[in-house]
Amino acid sequence: MNHYQAVIIGFGKAGKTLAGALGRAGWRVAIIEKSKAMYGGTCINIGCIPTKALVHDAQAATDFSEAMQRKASVVEFLREKNYLNLAKMEKVEVIDGQAEFLDAHTLRITTEQDARTLSADRIFINTGAEAIFPQIEGLIPGPRIVDSTGLLNLTSLPERLGILGGGYIGVEFASMFASFGSKVTIFETAPQFLAREDADISTAISTILQEQGVKTELSTVVQSVTNGNDSVTLRTMKGDHKMDVLLVAIGRRPATQALKLEKAGVVTDERGAIRVDKSLKTSADHIWAMGDVTGGPQFTYVSLDDFRIVYDQLLGKGTRTTDDRVNIPYSVFMTPTLSRIGLTEAQARAQGRNIQVVSLPVAATPRARVINDTRGMLKAVVDNDNHRILGVALLAADSHEVINLVKTVMDAGLPYTVLRDQIFTHPTMSESLNDLFALIK
């Protein structure tokens, strides 16, 4: 049995970064990944990198097959780079196989050829999340019923694409495939579209999707699915809907079922998410969990911050925790992009804050005229008592870049006037913040 100072289960952002850092510090490290197609984690292989490459090519009116080929080459390049970054390190061993706990310090790794046992002083779980398939009659994964990974591996553009789930993943793929030329229909059980957003923002998103040709069926419960040779039929109370491909995008859950965590004394919640404290330690003192497997925000940049927290405990000052993580921005890469940070107007009012809310159409921004995309709106919520920004929503081209400026100001506790009076280059989308915050009275 081989013994290591650290064993990391999962090749995601937090895990691979920690493996490299500990290896450079002289630790003997093993990093375990069950799939050779997942070196680098979800983001590189089946998440942000391939989807954003496709979004870019869809906007550029690239042929679908050409876009898929370019996406594959980008992913393969980054996957190989991530593998070699660790495999070439003297102190780091990359092991292919499925890990499961035998006890709190011991793991069995089942590979394609055999199984091996290893032990570690410290163990770090970074196994990510997996797609959820609801219990619906006939809803069985296959060539025409796919999760987001399956959709990214299509070889031809579906003429009719159905999307089960109207959340952010569904919206992003709907906008992307509509831009490529698919006829897209979103099926959402809730009566309100994107209920986490303010009504004016969700309405603006809905309008943009409609202009792209996307249909949205709200308050729609799929009763059964029939998988034919050349189509998929969804049966609902409103009637039957025939599609070429159905994307199931109702959410993702932590990937912990195969780990046998109970043998290590690691506690999970009802969804299978590993319970951690503010330092990302599990119920076992020598085991940490990082990334999507903890049930927190499923963003690669949050996983990177998880690495920082754990690394600070191991080789730093030991002071960094999740309490230091505030104002987490996110972007939904529809076209144009939705980016948001902080509180919505509804959340701020529910908290009884003394607020002022302002909004600005993107069409009022010179940059939008230059790039010929005037769709969307900008919105800000400001605290009247201390002039700090409580939240911002940007539905606009390049908003995924601009939102980071807002985060910097919010994290520093600066007043909104910093953005109102900042000198930005022209013509840029950033300078729209001058005009947005100038509306505050």
Q: How far apart are CA 235 and CA 238, in angstroms?
A: 8
**Cis status of the peptide bond prior to 427, with omega within 30 of 0:** yes
Neighbours of 50 (CB within 10 A): 23
Name the active-site residue from 3, 56, 286, 426: 426
Q: Given phi > 0 = left and psi -120 to 50 = alpha, else beta, which region is 213?
A: left
Structure-token pair, residue 33: 């990944």
Structure-token pair, residue 43: 């983001």
Neighbours of 341 (CB within 10 A): 21
Q: How far apart are CA 333 and CA 223, in angstroms?
A: 30
Q: Per-residue DSSP letters for 34-67?
A: S-GGGTT-HHHHHSHHHHHHHHHHHHTT--HHHH
Q: Per-residue DSSP letters for 140-203?
A: --SSSEE-HHHHTT-SS--SEEEEE--SHHHHHHHHHHHHHT-EEEEE-SSSSTTTTS-HHHHH
Q: Which of 412, 364, 416 is nearest to 386 (CA)?
A: 416
Is 426 catalytic? The answer is: yes
Q: Per-residue DSSP letters for 76-106?
A: HHHHHHHHHHHHT-TTEEEEESEEEEEETTE
Q: How far apart are CA 346 and CA 350, in angstroms?
A: 6
Could you give the dihedral angle defined by the CA atoms of residues 216, 129, 38 and 96, in that order, rounded to the nearest 10 degrees? Answer: -150
Determine contact, residues 79/40, Cβ cutoff 8 Å. yes
Q: Which residues are catalytic?
A: 426
